Structure formats: structure tokens, C-alpha cells
Amino acid sequence: MTLAPALRIEHLSVAYDDRPVLENVNLELGRGKLIGIVGPNGAGKSTLLKAILGLTPKLLGSIELLGEPLRGADLRLGYVPQRESVDWDFPVTVAEVVAMGTYGRVGWFRRPSAAERTRVQRALDQVGLSEYASRQISQLSGGQQQRTFLARALVQDAEVYLLDEPFAGIDATTEEALIEVLLDLRAQGRTLVAVHHDLGTVAKFFDEVVLLHRHVLAFGPPDEVLTPTLLEVAYSSKSTSRSAWGA
Amino acid sequence: MWTYNTAIVLIGAALLGAQCAVVGTFAVLRRRALLGDVLAHAALPGIVLAFWLTGNRSLPILLTGAASTGLIGIAILAYLKKRSRTREDAALGLVLSVFFGIGIALSRYVQNAVPGGGKAGLDTFIFGKTAGIVLADVLGVALVGALSLVLVMGTFKELRMVSFDPQFAATQGYPVVFLDLLMMGLVVVAVVVGLPMVGIVMVAALTILPAVAARFWTSRLPVLLALAATIGMVATSLGALWSAAQPGWPTGPVMILLAGGLFVLSALFAPHRGLITDLRRRSRARAALAEKAAEELLRARQTVTLSDLSRLGFRRPRQTLELLVSRGVALARAGTWVWANPPAPSEDRS
């Protein structure tokens, strides 16, 4: 008997108002893999992650996590959002943000236990931020912000991680820490799905790539997906009026 | 002026100030600062209607009316934001002024045409009045305030998470809509309770000003909450005292003036985040940059004049060059400055 895939997405369609963002997306993402999602601006990359997480309502389709249908929030699913999605001047410390990754387990009204706080400490160590634990998040650089979010996802101890542009605008230290953490998680058999914006580094980071442009245009190993023909279809098709690069 | 009634009013005002500040801090952090203002303005039709329908002017009845139309206003706001193409700021202004307009019109009608309407004191709700406050009202404020505080402390972790990153809160299995409603409910209660004392026009400022003023002094959320509560209490209790001593002064505006004053002081003088520290930090950085640039320029050209530097946009060329002279890097020679050819800094110089 083979293990169920980490994520099975069938006939997923998402629309914002009257504008379709994802149409009939079908994907089966295997366990223990590092998977990149690439595609032009407005291709629906972030929306795909949010639809899996239940943050954006699906129009149609079903999603299975580790062989079971996803209903509502599932703590086996971890999320590293884009850095820009929050206000970094919010009055909270690095350790407090990371501790939020335990809140799903901790539950209402209770505070993280000593064991949970140890996990927070370990996650901060892992991303090289232990010295910053009691700093205000407003004092962090962009790369440190990214590592804070990564540590918050790590303490959740999820099976499948969804990362939105984790490599965007980070320093070399952060990139190293990030790759190390991702490889470590993969070695433990966890699945990592990351939206990625830089085609030049896709082959370096990922085992498999999803080329997305509202539909799944291709899915497979980087050298099979990133062919000139397919990229041409994804990045210069007439349906992309905004074909600009970037986040 | 230290009468029994003054003491009652003072306690009621202080409790109200603290309550508004604490729930307002979360509203500000969640970027819903204007919610209270819409709510307060939308409350006026409800106050008038409640009196008209029941003929009763007791506070619980009027405030129930206030909360009802206030919530209707917020519901319309939410609907406009979600379903129409109206932007949020425009929708806020729209709901606020239309409801307030309806309220003023209704209250004129009731005061002129409804028996007893002229004496109902409906107008006092616009700017607030503490003179009529009695012990029962203060007990009401105290009860509601204590309940709000318990709720905030009990859900502190949840409120903080949902204010900081609502989407992540959802992935952790927390009901974001419910937490937002809780936060909104706390604001509704604080604003409605504050209406009689502070008035429709001013009460929302009590949920915003203390939080924003306190933010200049601290980046720790628990400290921020305590400090905001203190600022709120100081403003409301001094305001209440003032209007007790000088009966001609409207209570709400005096309270807000005091809170506004504390905000200005904080914005100017707070260390780290205050305006003065900010300006000083900026000018220091600029001066250091200018000094470095002038030194490079002098090294390259050997001679520079004030107009050379002015042309390049140096704001204080003379001071910058005099700094270089005092460091022994430049020499002043009749209107020009020349490179002093200083020995390269080396390890053993110290």
C-alpha cells in the first residue's frame, strides 16, 4: 500500500468577485519533497496556498491533506506568509510572535507551557535568532523578519509547510538558514511547498516545480517544467495583461 | 467643590476612561480606530427613537436604542465595504454623517412635536454632560468596565494574535470573525456607556487618543495597555473635575482636550519614538554623512570653498568644514579650506 500524497487537490477553482483566479487546478504533491510554485504575477500562486489553508473560499474543488479531506484549520498544515502581510511596527517581541505557532495546540485561554517555550527557544536557535528573542519586531531586518515567520511555523511542527515567497528580498545569511531548515524538514519526511519568484534559482532549491497560470501548465522536475516552450506559454500568453515580474 | 456628587462623577469618569482606552488599544492595533466614531454617531437616532417610542428617558433604555442603531450603522458599513465598490474611508464618512444627520433631524422633531420631548435632554448626548450622573450610573459603568477588563485579560493572547496576524490566527484554528466581533462588541459597550458623559461627537476619541499617545512611550503591549488606561483615566477624571468646577464648560470636549494635550506631549517628548528624538537622530545622521562627504571631497580636490559645498547641497557648509578643521583634517585659509594632509589613522595612534 502506498502512502497517500501530502496534498491532493482536485478541480480547485477560486474567484475574487467575478474574476477567476484559479481554474480547475489538479495536483498531487508527494510527501518528503521540496516543491516550488512558479508563474507570472497574478497567476494565482499565493491564492493557491490560501485556498489550501482555507483563508480564501473555494468556488469548487476538494483538497485532501495526507489522505483526509481538509475541513477548516488543520495544525498539520503550516504557513509562512509573505513578510509584507503584517505590520512590523506592532508592539510584540520576536519570541512572542514565534510562540503564536504553538497557539493552535495550546488552545483558548491557556498560556504556552514550559515545554512549548522550550520549543520556541529551539526554533529561534534553528533560525539563528536566539539573541533577538526579546527584541521588538520593529527592530528586525527583512531577513530577520522572514526567519521569525519561519521559526513560528517550525514550532507548529506541521507535516506540510506552505511558504509564500520565502526567498524574496532576503540576505545571504537568511537564505542559508532558510535552505538549511527546509532541507532538514525534508529529511524528516515533511513536505514543503513554496511560492517562488526567481526562475533562475528554481532548479537549485526545488525537487519539483508547479508552473501555474490560473491552470497548472506543468508539474514535474525543474528541467522538465522550465522549458522555453512552457515558459513562453506561462509568461507571455495573451491572458496576462500584467506580465510584470516580481512578487 | 468636593461634594459627594463630584466624587461619584470622578470615579465614573475615571473608570470610563480606562475602559475606553483598553478596548481602544486593540481597535487601533487592528486598524479599526474609526469604528467607535461611526458607532457613536450612528447611536443618536437610536437614542431619540428609544425616547419617542417609550416616553421614558432612563439611561438603560436610551442606551439600548443607541447600541441598536449604532450596530445597524456598523452593519451597513460592513456591507458597503464588502459588496459595493465604495472604499472603506468613504463608506465610514458616509454612514457616520447620514446617521448623525438623521439623529439631529429626529431629535429636533421630537423636541418640538412630542410632549415632554423638549425636556428629555436629548441634546446633552451630543457633547456629553456629567452633572446628571448618579451613583447607579457609576455602578453601571463600573460593572461594564470590570466585565470588559476581564474579557480582555482572558483573551489577551487571542486578541493580540488576531490583531497582529488574523490569517495566521485562522490557520491556528481560531475563529477570526468571532474574535473581531468580540473586539467590536467591547468597543460598542465602551462607547455606548460613555455617550451620556462624553457625548456622541467626542466619545470615540477616548478609544483612540490614549492608545496612540501611549504607543510613543512603549512597545510592550501589556505596558501599552496600562499606560493607555492611565492616560484615559487622567484625561477623563480631570475633565470631570474641570466641568464640576466650571459648570459652563462642556464635559466631553474638555476631556478630549486633555487627552489631546497628553498626545501632543507624548508625540513631542517621548524618548525613542518622539518627534524631537526623531529629528535629533535624523540631523545627527545627516551631519555625520555631510562630514564624511566633505572630507572625501577635500581629499580629492585638496582645496574647497564654501560655495563649492553649497553648490553640492551641503546645508551647513561652514559648520561641516569647521568640524574637519577641529579634527585636524582641514586647514582654514582666507575663505578656502585646504586638505591638511593628516597622517593616515593607524592602530598605534591611540
pLDDT tens digits, A38-67: 999 889 999 999 999 999 999 999 999 999
The number of angstroms, rounded, from the C-alpha of B125 to the middle of its chain's C-alpha atoms is 22
Please indicate, yes or no, if residue B280 is contained in any of the structural domains. no
Q: Is the pLDDT of residue B1 over 80?
A: no
How high is the pLDDT of residue A195? 96
| Option in B29, B171, B219 nearest A79 (CB) | B171
Do residues B269 and B291 both lie within one domain? no
Interchain CB contact of A55 with B (< 8 Å): yes
Q: Which residues of chain A have pLDDT under 70?
A: 1, 237-247
Which domain-ending residue is among B245, B273, B301?
B273
How high is the pLDDT of residue A242? 42
Interchain CB contact of B81 with A (< 8 Å): no
* A76 vs B58: which has the higher pLDDT: A76
Q: Round to whole Å and give the CA distance between B279 and B281.
A: 5
Within 181-210 of A, beta carbons closer than 8 Å to B belong to: none
Lowest model confidence (mean pLDDT) among B91-100, B193-202, B216-225: B193-202
* Chain B contact set for A55 (CB, 8 A): 167, 170-171
**Overall CATH class of domain A1-76+159-247:** alpha beta
Q: Is the pLDDT of residue B349 over 70?
A: no
Closest-CA residue of chain B to A110 = B157
| Residues B190, B192, B193: CA angle, nearest 5 degrees | 65
B171:A104 CB<8 A: yes
Please indicate, yes or no, if residue B281 is contained in any of the structural domains. no
pLDDT tens digits, A175-191: 998 999 999 999 999 99
Which of A118, A82, A111, A71 lies closest to A246 in space, CA to CA? A82
Closest-CA residue of chain B to A101 = B172
Please indicate, yes or no, if residue B315 is contained in any of the structural domains. yes
Domain ranges within chain A, ordered by starting residue: 1-76+159-247, 86-157
Do residues B187 and B312 both lie within one domain? no
Question: What CATH number is attached to the domain comprising B294?
Answer: 1.10.10.10
How high is the pLDDT of residue B2? 67
Q: Phi first, then psi: give them for residue B114, nearest 5 degrees.
A: -95, 130
Q: How confident is the model at residue B9 (pLDDT cuts 50, 70, 90)?
A: confident
Count: domains in chain B: 2
Within 200-259 of B, beta carbons closer than 8 Å to A belong to: 215, 218-221, 224
Q: How confident is the model at residue B84 (pLDDT cuts 50, 70, 90)?
A: confident
Q: Is the pLDDT of residue B61 over 80?
A: yes
Q: Most confidently modeled of A16-20, B109-113, B116-120, B216-220? A: B216-220
Amino acid (1-letter code) at residue B185: G
- What value does the mean pLDDT of chain B take? 90
* Residue A230 distance to chain B (closest CA, Å): 33
Per the structure, the complete domain to which residue B315 belongs is given by: 286-340
Do residues B291 and B318 both lie within one domain? yes
How high is the pLDDT of residue B248? 81
* Residue B224 distance to chain A (closest CA, Å): 8
The complex scores an ipTM of 0.92
* Chain B contact set for A117 (CB, 8 A): none
pLDDT tens digits, B171-181: 999 999 999 99
Q: Round to whole Å and give the CA distance between A106 and B211.
A: 29
B29:A91 CB<8 A: yes
Length of chain A measured in residues: 247
Please indicate, yes or no, if residue B278 is contained in any of the structural domains. no
How high is the pLDDT of residue B128? 84
How high is the pLDDT of residue B346? 55
Question: What CATH number is attached to the domain comprising B34?
Answer: 1.10.3470.10
